[in-house]
Amino acid sequence: MALRRGTANKRAGKGGHWMTGEGKLQGRRAVITGGASGIGLAIAKAFAREGAPVLILDLNAAGAQAAVEAIQAAGGDAEAHICDVSDASSVRKTFDGIFARGPVKILVNNAGVAHVGTVASTNEDDFDRLMRINVRSVYLSTQAVVERMKAQGGGVILNMASIAAITGLPDRFAYSTTKGAVLAMTYSVARDYLPDNIRCNAISPARVHTPFVDGFVARNYPGHEKEMMEVLGRAQPVGRMAEPEEVANLAVWLCSDEASFITGQNYPLDGGYMNLRG
């Protein structure tokens, strides 16, 4: 199901609107899963600023529509598709419709959910849910685009992993498992499609200040939100969480021609977490 679409190609100017000009992603249709909020929304906005027509895939129809309208209001080109990226038939139908209207040059596999628990406290339903949303969605969406990208002469796939994929985090058993799988898929796709001009990389953020974090703190630490946010910020050596726009800036670069020599790589965006902890 596609929602409203805009067609302007502009770049950021005063008042949040975008001036006409050539962007780093000019004219490259980009699919962003989970693009209605948080990191996905920031990536969608950043891509549109750089001239990409963005296609937001999300189950949140209201959020997806709001994202499209915000991008259009700033002069960008956007549309939304209501899609369950963990369901094969939904993915197939959505991508068939998208490719029927033109090539896709960029896929950002961003959709995902978090979970708190050890291997002992994680039940089977929660484990299966995370595998379905965080891993199966990447497999299905990548499968839906990669051979078509090959036929059209190439493209870029960017996966959102996590520092949980490369270091031990407490109480993140299922989440770490899924993000480790995302990272392994990144390397595999990059290797298999190296001869076909398809680049595949991953970004592994540390904690990012998104609406999810705000909601988690509000639910679990009512009355102590400010103190808890400070604790979460101090977990990164730089003393704060990342902002979604900082992830989006790296995503723009990795999907642009400026990164044309880069494939099969993982980029920790961690505020020094991996190497600078005391």
Active-site positions? 175
**Any idea how long the chain is?**
278
- Taking the mean position of all CA atoms in its chain, how far away is CA 217? 22
What whole-number distance in Å separates Cα of residue 247 and Cα of residue 25?
A: 16
CB 105 within 8 A of CB 75: no
Give, for 18, the enclosing helix (H) or strand (E).
strand 18-20
Report the candidate in 156, 154, 106, 105 with the shortest Cα–Cα distance to residue 262: 156
Residues 6+ apart with CB under 8 A from 7: 53, 77
Question: Residue 61 — left, alpha, or beta (φ > 0 → left; ψ -120 to 50 → alpha)?
Answer: alpha
The conformation of residue 243, written as its DSSP 8-state character, comes to P
CB 180 within 8 A of CB 204: no
Report the candidate in 111, 108, 158 with the shortest Cα–Cα distance to residue 133: 111
Tell whether the torsion through CA atoms of 90, 209, 72 and 200 is positive or negative: negative
How far from each other are the two terminal CA atoms of the chain, in whole angstroms? 50
